[in-house]
């Protein structure tokens, strides 16, 4: 998406022009820019597809190695990731090229994304004693509270719907304040809707595992290797201390197409 403020540009270049220039001049300016934009989109698509081909080859190599080693669990995970890569699922969103901003603006530095979201944006697999007001998923963003799952098993999760596409650059978690309960490791799933949620992959293609908390109070921040573009984000605890309880913060910006 290109955010073009022609009136503003002409006001800088040609003082005295009205804020809304004649439509013929606007179209003339756009006609000069369109070829460059099309080249940009085509070049970017080629680069993304080339990287996906490299990922497929790396996954094939890793899969062969795990099959020979007899590690069927890892082999199955790699096989699933390879099928996703061959189907282009990892690059589907990347094929929307980065915005070209003619005014040199950007989404700005990463900022907290959860503070202004309504409580309905937060959902979870379960809530301790069903008390959503005290322990529900929206409580995860409150410094003096936390989300608390009803049970401790691998089927628990907390999810955020940002309402539009965002670019996530960092995830920060903490445990339940004042009590020895926290998540020690977790996975992330992301997608444009709940039906398209996919695991965020590690460098080898298998679902990435992220380090969690070591106590209930220290904030542990994970910087993602590249911005994660998504609308839905689901955090799935895979190990914990005491009980699955956590506070959550997400840093990022609006996705280019949402600005």
Query: Within this chain, do residues 59 and 162 fall inside the same structural domain, yes or no?
Result: no
Query: Within this chain, do residues 155 and 191 fall inside the same structural domain, yes or no?
Result: yes
Kindly give, in sequence order, each residue whose CB lies less than 8 Å from that of residue 256, ignoring residues fewer than 6 positions away: 1, 96, 98, 99, 107, 167
Query: Within this chain, do residues 85 and 123 fall inside the same structural domain, yes or no?
Result: no
Q: Of 62, 81, 101, which residue sits at a domain end?
A: 101
- CA 145/CA 233 separation, integer angstroms: 21
Range of the domain at 215: 111-258
- Residue 135's pLDDT is 95
Token pair belonging to 102: 């003619």
Query: Within this chain, do residues 181 and 231 fall inside the same structural domain, yes or no?
Result: yes
What's the average model confidence in pLDDT over 29-58? Answer: 74
Tell me the average pLDDT of the chain: 81
In a domain? residue 106: no
Is the predicted pLDDT of residue 8 greater than 60, yes or no? no
Query: Within this chain, do residues 142 and 240 fall inside the same structural domain, yes or no?
Result: yes
Choose from 1-15, 51-65, 93-107 the range with maximum mean pLDDT. 51-65
Query: Within this chain, do residues 41 and 163 fall inside the same structural domain, yes or no?
Result: no
Query: Within this chain, do residues 123 and 242 fall inside the same structural domain, yes or no?
Result: yes
- CA 13/CA 85 separation, integer angstroms: 47
CA atoms within 13 A on the CB side of 138: 13
- Residue 259's pLDDT is 52
In a domain? residue 174: yes
- Looking at the structure of the chain, the number of domains it has is 2
Query: Within this chain, do residues 158 and 247 fall inside the same structural domain, yes or no?
Result: yes
- Residue 15's pLDDT is 43
CATH classification at residue 126: 2.60.120.260
Q: 237 or 255: whose pLDDT is higher?
A: 237
Query: Within this chain, do residues 69 and 154 fall inside the same structural domain, yes or no?
Result: no
- Residue 29's pLDDT is 59
Query: Within this chain, do residues 210 and 252 fall inside the same structural domain, yes or no?
Result: yes
Query: Within this chain, do residues 155 and 207 fall inside the same structural domain, yes or no?
Result: yes
What's the average model confidence in pLDDT over 34-55? Answer: 75
Is the predicted pLDDT of residue 184 greater than 70, yes or no? yes
Q: Of 45, 77, 101, which residue sits at a domain end?
A: 101
Is the predicted pLDDT of residue 72 greater than 60, yes or no? yes
Q: Of 67, 101, 135, which residue sits at a domain end?
A: 101
- Residue 150's pLDDT is 97
Query: Within this chain, do residues 24 and 68 fall inside the same structural domain, yes or no?
Result: yes
Kindly give, in sequence order, each residue whose CB lies less than 8 Å from that of residue 209, ignoring residues fewer than 6 positions away: 185, 186, 187, 202, 238
Please state whether the predicted TM-score (pTM) of the whole model is above 0.75: no
């Amino acid at each position: 998406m290109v955010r073009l403020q022609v009136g503003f540009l002409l006001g800088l270049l040609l003082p005295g022009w009205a804020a809304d220039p004649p439509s013929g001049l606007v179209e003339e300016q756009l006609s000069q820019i369109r070829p460059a934009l099309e080249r940009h989109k085509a070049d970017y698509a080629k680069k993304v597809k080339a990287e996906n081909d490299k990922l497929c080859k790396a996954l094939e190599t890793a899969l062969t190695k795990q099959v020979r080693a007899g590690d069927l669990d890892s082999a199955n995970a790699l096989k699933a990731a390879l099928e996703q890569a061959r189907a282009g699922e990892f690059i589907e969103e990347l094929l929307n090229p980065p915005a070209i901003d003619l005014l040199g603006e950007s989404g700005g530095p990463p900022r907290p994304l959860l503070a202004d979201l309504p409580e309905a944006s937060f959902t979870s697999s379960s809530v301790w004693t069903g008390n959503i007001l005290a322990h529900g998923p929206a409580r995860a963003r409150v410094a003096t509270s936390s989300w608390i799952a009803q049970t401790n098993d691998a089927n628990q999760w907390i999810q955020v719907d940002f309402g539009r596409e965002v670019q996530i650059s960092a995830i920060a978690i903490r445990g339940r304040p004042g009590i020895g309960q926290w998540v020690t490791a977790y996975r992330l799933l992301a997608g444009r809707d709940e039906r398209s949620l996919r695991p965020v992959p590690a460098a080898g293609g298998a679902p990435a595992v992220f380090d969690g908390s070591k106590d209930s109070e220290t904030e542990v921040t994970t910087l993602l290797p590249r911005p994660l573009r998504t609308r839905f984000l689901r955090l799935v605890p895979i190990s914990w201390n005491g009980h699955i309880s956590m506070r959550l913060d997400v840093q990022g910006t609006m996705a280019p197409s949402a600005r």
